[in-house]
Amino acid sequence: MRNCYIHSAVSISAQNTFASEDFLLDVIAHNTKKTQAIYPNFKDFIAPIAARRMQTAVKMGVVTANKALQIAELNQPDAIITGTGMGCITDTEKFLNSIITNNEAYLTPTSFIQSTHNTVCAQIALGLKCNAFNNTYTHGNLSFESTLIDAQLLIQQQEAKHILVGGVDELGTEFVEYVQMMEAKESKGIKVPFSEGATFAVLSSEKKVNAIKLQAITTILEASKEEIILKLEAFLAVNDMDANSIDAIILGNNGDAYDAYYELTATSLFPHAVQIEYKHLIGEFHTASAFAFWLGTKVLQKQHIPKDVLKNSRQNKSIKTVLLYNQFKGKDHSFILLKTC
């Protein structure tokens, strides 16, 4: 069975992560309910004629994907796999509102065509003229995780060598308002802003200098806090590890009542590990955990933890193994293990 290595990881987020070479050096504080990602100048990357039809998710996805390929020095991936929770929600809202407002008359196809969940993945393939395997997952907060599972499987089973994976979600305008309205009714709702972003990575069966290994990933639909502890221990055991082998954990705290999952996990299993959080910087959305994947990869490559994500006392020891844990409302749990090679 082949190993799965990360050759590049690129992210557009509500921090300056795409254009800047700095590693979260000057972070932006977000005190709003919603926040857009920091966009690069899309015109520098996408031809105007193509960009005209693209909404934010497609633009972020295409640009991030291309940079991930460039860094990995890969022209044509053997597979392109995208995850998105809400898909192309802007065009979905646009077409839906045209139907309602005009009572099904005077409609144009563009927003419908661009509204399908596979638009980002399709536009990446189109730009590359890539006939290879092409898949899109849309499974709530496990959408990005599903791309990793698929990619790892393709590599392990020797069906592909170099794979472009990514998670992308755009904010949209209307639906997010309704989601936030419902969230506001919760006694302890999400505190970080609702947001958006795109993270793409090249995974490969080939080991490379400074490559990080995607050791394992697993997803759990629903579990109690106590069950999560047991499942996490079992996950580590399958990978010949225990809680002491984890140098750093990256947790998806968003300020809601379900942060209790992270707290119990951190205190009961990883009292000695470096604890990292990130959603206060980039917000919450269905594929926010893809940012943690980017962050984990960078921490391992740079052997440095930016101060704004570090949640407990700074540790000087080298970081060889990072565990990512994310969940949403006590559901859609995921564990991802990243290692230096």
Sites of contact with other proteins (CB under 8 A): 1, 80, 85-87, 95-97, 99-100, 103-105, 107-109, 112-119, 121-123, 125-126, 128-140, 142-143, 146, 149-150, 153, 156-159, 174-175, 178-179, 181-182, 216, 218-222, 235, 238-239, 286, 331
DSSP assignments along 216-257, one per residue: EEEEEEE--HHHHHHHHHHHHHHTT--GGG--EEEE---SST
Q: Residue 85: which residues within 8 A CB-CB, separation 6 or more?
A: 138, 139, 140, 141, 143, 169, 285, 286, 287
Which of 218, 312 has the CB closer to other proteins?
Answer: 218
Closest by CA to 275, choosing from 213, 325, 332, is 325
Provide the 3-class DSSP secondary structure of residue 328: strand
Which of 30, 34 has the CB closer to other proteins?
Answer: 34
Which of 241, 309 has the CB closer to other proteins?
Answer: 241
E-state strands within 5-120: 5-12, 79-83
Question: SS3 for 247-298, per residue?
Answer: CEEEECCCCCCCHHHHHHHHHHHCCCCEEEECHHHHCECCCCHHHHHHHHHH
Closest approach, Cβ 105 to other proteins, in A, equals 7
Which of 115, 254 has the CB closer to other proteins?
Answer: 115
